[in-house]
């Protein structure tokens, strides 16, 4: 049983106009086996939270803390965070020219486990995971994300989730840009891994439709850099009916 704890987190980015605060006091605790959905309108800071947890250098933590079983995540480099068991499925996975998927997956797995995976099992695992996610076998020989469609990139993110087996997975708008079939395939992948009972999931989404396939235990609504409302799955249903308008109207009051 692990715990990822985010406490009173303030995060800013540097823009041409100067420093801009994006997260304004976020607190959130995720435990193994739990699925938390973070929902909110564009620009509310959802993706900033995801990138900050992963350690993207663009984001500056002004105050607050992130700990993993008491360990200070903010003191870790990006790769140390990954090796500690944090995984970010990215919203826009980058293309890495010249590095084949096969080479990349094996290099990452070796780094994460501290030793090279047994070749025979590894090849089998990769093949099986690819086939379950309906990724063509020839993708293994292609360069990381190069020329992949939006949906293919997302499936490859979940492929990594299944192969790397993190303690906490942060899915940053994994559902965006997916058609219904791809959404199902990707959700099944997350559910397969989640069902093993060794992972906590932070699911960031703009839309409610992925929640038909991945059932959250908790729903947090992000507005203007902080959590405006929290609840169980029923909150997602309410959002589906009402949208974010009710929160948008409240925004100026929050800022005042």
Partner 1 sequence: MAEATQMNNEASTAGPAGAVADEKARIGAPSSAPAVIAGFSEEGESLSELNTGSIQHGLKKHSHGNAPVVPEASRGERLKSYNLEDFAPLTGREEDWRFTPLNRLRGLHTEPLTGTGPSVQVSGASNIKVETVGRSDARIGSAATPEDRISAAAWAAADGATVVTVPANTVADAEVTVTVSSADKAPAAQHLIIEAGAFSTAVVVLDHSGSATLAQNIEIVVGDGAQLTVVSVQEWDDDAVHVSSQQAKIGRDARFKHVVVSLGGDLVRLTPSSVFTAPGAEVEMYGLYFADAGQHLEQRLLVDHAVPNCKSRVTYKGALQGQGAHTVWVGDVLIRKEAEGTDTYEVNRNLLLTDGTRSDSVPNLEIETGLIEGAGHASATGRFDDEHLFYLMARGIPEQDARRLVVRGFLTEVIQQIKVPALEERLALALENELAAGNL
Q: List contacts with partner 1 (CB under 8 A).
A: 54-57, 77-79, 81-83, 87-88, 90, 93-94, 96-99, 103-104, 107-108, 111-112, 143-144, 160, 164
Query: Residue 155 Cβ, how far from partner 1 at the closest point, in Å?
Result: 16
| 75/254 with CB nearer partner 1 | 75
From 42, 40, 16, select the one nearest 28 (Cα to Cα).
Answer: 40
| 164/247 with CB nearer partner 1 | 164
Query: Residue 246 Cβ, how far from partner 1 at the closest point, in Å?
Result: 35
Query: Residue 125 Cβ, how far from partner 1 at the closest point, in Å?
Result: 16
Distance in angstroms (rounded) separating the CA atoms of residues 108 and 30: 25
Query: Residue 35 Cβ, how far from partner 1 at the closest point, in Å?
Result: 21
| 99/250 with CB nearer partner 1 | 99
Read off the tokens for 5: 């704890």
Query: Residue 232 Cβ, how far from partner 1 at the closest point, in Å?
Result: 31
Q: Helix/strand/coil (H, E, C) string of 76-104? A: CCHHHHHHHCEEEECCCCCCEEEEEHHHH
Distance in angstroms (rounded) separating the CA atoms of residues 242 and 236: 10
Query: E strands within 101-223?
Result: 143-144, 168-172, 200-205, 218-223
| 56/238 with CB nearer partner 1 | 56
**Cross-strand partners of 152:** none
| 17/77 with CB nearer partner 1 | 77
Distance in angstroms (rounded) separating the CA atoms of residues 19 and 4: 27
Phi, psi dihedrals of residue 97, rounded to the nearest 5°? -65, 145
| 8/79 with CB nearer partner 1 | 79
Distance in angstroms (rounded) separating the CA atoms of residues 170 and 178: 18
CB 227 within 8 A of CB 221: yes
Query: Residue 69 Cβ, how far from partner 1 at the closest point, in Å?
Result: 18
Neighbours of 16 (CB within 10 A): 4
């Amino acid at each position: 049983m692990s715990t990822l704890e985010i406490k009173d987190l303030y995060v800013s980015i540097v823009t041409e106009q100067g420093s801009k605060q994006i997260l304004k006091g976020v607190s959130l605790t995720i435990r193994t086996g739990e699925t938390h959905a973070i929902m909110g309108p564009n620009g509310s800071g959802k993706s900033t939270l995801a990138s900050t947890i992963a350690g993207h250098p663009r984001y500056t933590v002004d105050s607050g803390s992130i700990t993993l079983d008491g360990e200070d995540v903010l003191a870790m480099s990006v790769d140390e965070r990954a090796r500690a068991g944090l995984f970010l499925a990215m919203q826009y996975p980058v293309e890495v020219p010249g590095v084949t998927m096969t080479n990349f997956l094996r290099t990452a797995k070796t780094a994460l486990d501290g030793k090279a995976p047994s070749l025979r099992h590894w090849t089998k695992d990769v093949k099986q995971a690819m086939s379950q996610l309906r990724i063509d076998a020839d993708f293994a020989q292609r360069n990381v994300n190069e020329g992949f469609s939006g949906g293919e990139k997302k499936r490859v993110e979940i492929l990594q989730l299944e192969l790397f087996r993190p303690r906490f997975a942060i899915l940053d708008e994994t559902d965006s840009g997916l058609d219904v079939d791809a959404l199902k395939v990707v959700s099944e992948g997350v559910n397969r891994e989640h069902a093993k009972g060794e992972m906590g999931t932070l699911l960031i989404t703009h839309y409610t439709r992925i929640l038909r396939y991945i059932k959250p235990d908790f729903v947090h609504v992000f507005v203007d850099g902080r959590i405006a409302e929290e609840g169980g799955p029923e909150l997602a249903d309410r959002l589906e009916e009402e949208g974010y308008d009710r929160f948008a109207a409240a925004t100026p009051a929050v800022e005042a």
